[in-house]
Chain A
Amino acid sequence: MRVALFVTCLVDMMRPRIGFAAIRLLEAAGCEVVVPETQTCCGQPAFNSGDRASAAKLAKKVIAEFEAHEYIVAPSGSCADQIRNEYPGLLADEPEWHRRALAFCPRVFELTDFLTRVAQPAELPGGFRGSITYHDSCAGLRSLGIKEQPRALLAQLPGVELREMPGAEECCGFGGTFSVKFGEISAAIAEKKCANACTTNADAIVGGDLGCLLNIEGKLRRMGDEKTRVLHVAEVLAGDR
C-alpha cells in the first residue's frame, strides 16, 4: 500500500520527529511511504481567517501534489479535516477542480484513523512505559470522529497506562490564529485544560494535533510544571527516543 505523508507545516517546523514517527508507524504497518517534496501547508490559516481565495489556491496545490497516491495521511486531525471536509466546498465553483477534490478527499486520513481502519499494523514499534492522559483535539474528534482510534492503538502498547482526564473533549483554547489574536483568552482556556490533565497525575499528556500540544506545553511550562511530558500520539506509538 502506497501512502503519501502530509507532514503538516507545524510538524515540519516545530517537531520533525513526529513526521519520522509517522513514517515508522506506516512502515510498520507495511506501507510504502512517500513524502512529496514540494508540500507546504494545507491552507487552513487562510481559510479560517476568511481568505478564501488564498485557501483555494493552496487546496489546488495540495490536490495536484498528492492525488496520484492511493492514500494520503497526516499526523493531524485538523489538517486532515481541512483537506477531507473543506476542500470540496472551497472548490465548488470550479467544476474541474471540484471533481478532482471529490475524487481525492475521501483518500485523505488522519494518522490514527488510517492505522486503525485501513493499515491495521499487527505490531507497533513503540515501547513507551508510563501513564498518559489523552486530549481529544476538536477537529479530529468532532469532524472526523476520532476518539477510539488513538486509544485502541495505545492499548496495544503493554507499557502504557491510559488515565482519562475530566473534560478530555473540551477545547484546549488553541484555535489556530485565535491563539495569537486573543492570547489572553486562549491561555486562560489552556489553563483549564492543563488543570484537568494534571488531575490524572499522568507522566505525559498526549494528543494528535501539534497545535494543541504546543499550546498545552507552553501553558504547563509557564505554570511551572517541568516534568509532565507533552507528546504527539505518533511519538508514543512509534517509540520513545
Chain B
Amino acid sequence: MQIRSMFFKANASAALANPVLQGNLRTSKGKFVDKRRAAVADFEAEGGDFEAMRAAAAEVRNLVLKDLDLWLEKFESAATARGATVLWAKDGEEICRHVVDIARRHSVRKAVKSKSMLSEEAGLNQALEASNVQPVETDLGEYILQINDNEPPSHIIAPVIHKSLDEVADLFEKTHRKPRKTEIPELTREAREALRAHFLDADMGISGGNFLVAETGSVALVTNEGNGRMVTTLPRVHVVVTGIEKVIPTLEDLSLLLRVLIRSATGQHISNYVSLLTGVKRPDEHDGPEHLYYILVDNGRADLVGSQFQDMLRCIRCGACMNHCPVYQTIGGHAYGWVYPGPMGSVLTPLYNGLDKAIDLPHAATLCNQCGVVCPVKIPLPELLRKLREQQVEKNLRPWLERVAIKGWAWVAGKPKLYALGTWFGVRYLNWLAGGKNRIGVLGAAPEWTLGRDFPAPEGKTFRELYSTRRR
C-alpha cells in the first residue's frame, strides 16, 4: 500500500473539516471502549483477574520473541508434516510474487479473501489483478472498501468504522443495482448474496492468521462473520499470509491469548467464529483445501527483534489502542496514511517504512497512555513513541525551528539567572499581548495553540518574583 503518512497533518486537517466523518466518529466513539470495559468487568465478576491475564499474555509473547527463529522452525516442521508448504517473504513484493506463483501453479482465476492486514501491506490485490486473478474481499467491511474503488481501511478490525449506514446503503445501491436498503440485516443479506457465487467458484482462498501454533502447525483465525470459514475450506487452494511474529508455542497459549484478544478487541467473551486449521484435507475428510501454503512475512519485523522496539512485536492486532486514543477518535484512521492507524500504527509505520517516511506520526500523540493501560500484551506504546522521537532527533530529522526551541529552552532552564530574566520578560510580553483581557486570541510564538482556542493570560508576575518579595 502506498504510504501517505508524510501528509499526516494535512490529512488530519481535512478529517477535522469533514462533517460526515466527524459525525461518524461521534457515532462510533466509545462503543468499543464500553464493550471492552463491560467484558473486563464480567470477567472479573466471575473471579478472573484481567490484569494477571494481560501479564501472562505479554509473557507468552516475550517468550516467543526471545527465540523467534526456533519457534518458527518448529512451526514449519509441524505444518510441513501435515502437508502444508511454508514459504518465507522478506517484503511485500515477495508476498505478491509467491501468491501469483501459487495461483499460476494451480490455474487460479479467482481468489476469495478474508481479512489480512499483511495483504494490505503488500498491495496484494493489485498484484493479483495484474496477473489476471480476480481478488474478492469477503469480510463485509473489506468488501465495502473494495467496491468503493479499493478504499483503504481506517481501523484494523473494523475497516469501515469511518462510514455511516447511509453511505454504505448508497454504495450498495450503486454497485448491486438493487433497490436501496437501509437496515443492517438487509444490507448484510445483499452482500452475502453477492459473495456466495464468488465463494463457490473461487479456486483459491487467501486469509490472514491471528496466531500460528508451533506445536501443531495450525493457524488460528478469529472472525465474526463466518466468511473466514468459507475462504479457508471451500477453494482447492488456501494461502495464509501472516507475519513471522504471529507464532506462539502451544494450544494452551492460544486459549490464553484468545481470551485477552477478543475481550480487548470487541468486548465479546469469544468471537462468533474461532477456526483452528491444521494441514490439508486428508483422504477421510470431506472438506478443506487440497493445497495449503503459509507465506510468513518479515517486512521489517526481524529487524525489531533484539532492538529497543522489540516490545512492539508482541502486538496481537486487537485495535484497543486506537479505540482508546483521543487523537484517533478525533481524526479517524485514514489520516495516518498507511495500513495501521492509531498508536500501534504510529509506532509501526515509521519502523516498517523508515523514520523519514512518517515524520509526524511519533509526535501525533498526547502520550496520555490510554493505549498503554488497555493493550492486552502490555506494549508501552507511549514509551516506544518517545524512543522514535529520540531517534528522529539523533538523525536530525526534526524541523530545525523545533530543535532550536527545545534545545534553547533546556539551555536557558539550566541557567537559573537567565531563566528568571527570560520568564520575567516572557510574562510581560504575554500580558501585553492580552491587552488587559484574561486571554490571548492570537499567539505569535505558538500560532498553532490559538487556531482553535484562546491562550489564557498569565497572572502578571512570576512566582519567583512574588515569592522573593513576599518571603518573610
Contact = CB atoms under 8 A, between A and B. Distances in A.
Contacts of B188: none
Contacts of B462: 12-13, 16
A162 interface: no
A51 to B, nearest CB: 5
Given A178-B363, A185-B331, A218-B456, A171 B368 contact: yes
A107 interface: no
B392 A180 contact: no
Interface stretch (B78-86, B179-187, B405-413): B405-413
B143 to A, nearest CB: 31
Tell me whether chain B's interface is mostly helix, strand or loop, or mixed: helix
Given A14-B456, A16-B461, A215-B453, A58 B366 contact: no
A37 interface: yes
A218 B454 contact: yes
Interface residues of A, number: 65
Contacts of A138: 366-370
B456 A221 contact: yes
A9 B413 contact: yes
B422 to A, nearest CB: 10
Interface string A146-179: 0000000000000000000000011101111111
Contacts of B364: 178, 182, 185
Interface in B358-394: 363-370, 372-373, 386, 388-394
B406 A46 contact: yes
Contacts of A51: 390, 393, 403, 406-407, 410
A113 interface: no
B265 to A, nearest CB: 20
A161 to B, nearest CB: 25
B360 to A, nearest CB: 8
B449 interface: yes
Interface of A: 7, 9, 11-17, 19-20, 35, 37-41, 43, 45-52, 54-55, 57-58, 61, 138-139, 142-143, 169-171, 173-192, 214-215, 217-219, 221-222
25 contacts: A9-B413, A35-B467, A41-B409, A43-B413, A47-B386, A50-B388, A50-B393, A51-B407, A171-B368, A173-B330, A173-B366, A175-B365, A175-B368, A177-B363, A179-B448, A179-B449, A181-B363, A183-B450, A184-B12, A186-B366, A191-B452, A215-B453, A218-B455, A218-B456, A219-B453
List the 9 closest pairs (A to B, CB-CB), nearest first.
A187-B452, A175-B366, A183-B448, A50-B389, A54-B410, A171-B368, A16-B463, A218-B453, A138-B368
Interface of B: 9, 12-13, 16, 326-327, 330-331, 363-370, 372-373, 386, 388-394, 398, 402-403, 406-407, 409-414, 416, 419, 423, 426-427, 438-439, 446-456, 458-459, 461-464, 466-468, 470
Given A175-B367, A189-B366, A222-B452, 18 more contacts: A11-B463, A13-B458, A14-B458, A19-B467, A20-B463, A43-B413, A49-B402, A51-B407, A57-B410, A171-B370, A178-B365, A178-B366, A183-B452, A188-B330, A214-B455, A215-B453, A217-B454, A218-B455
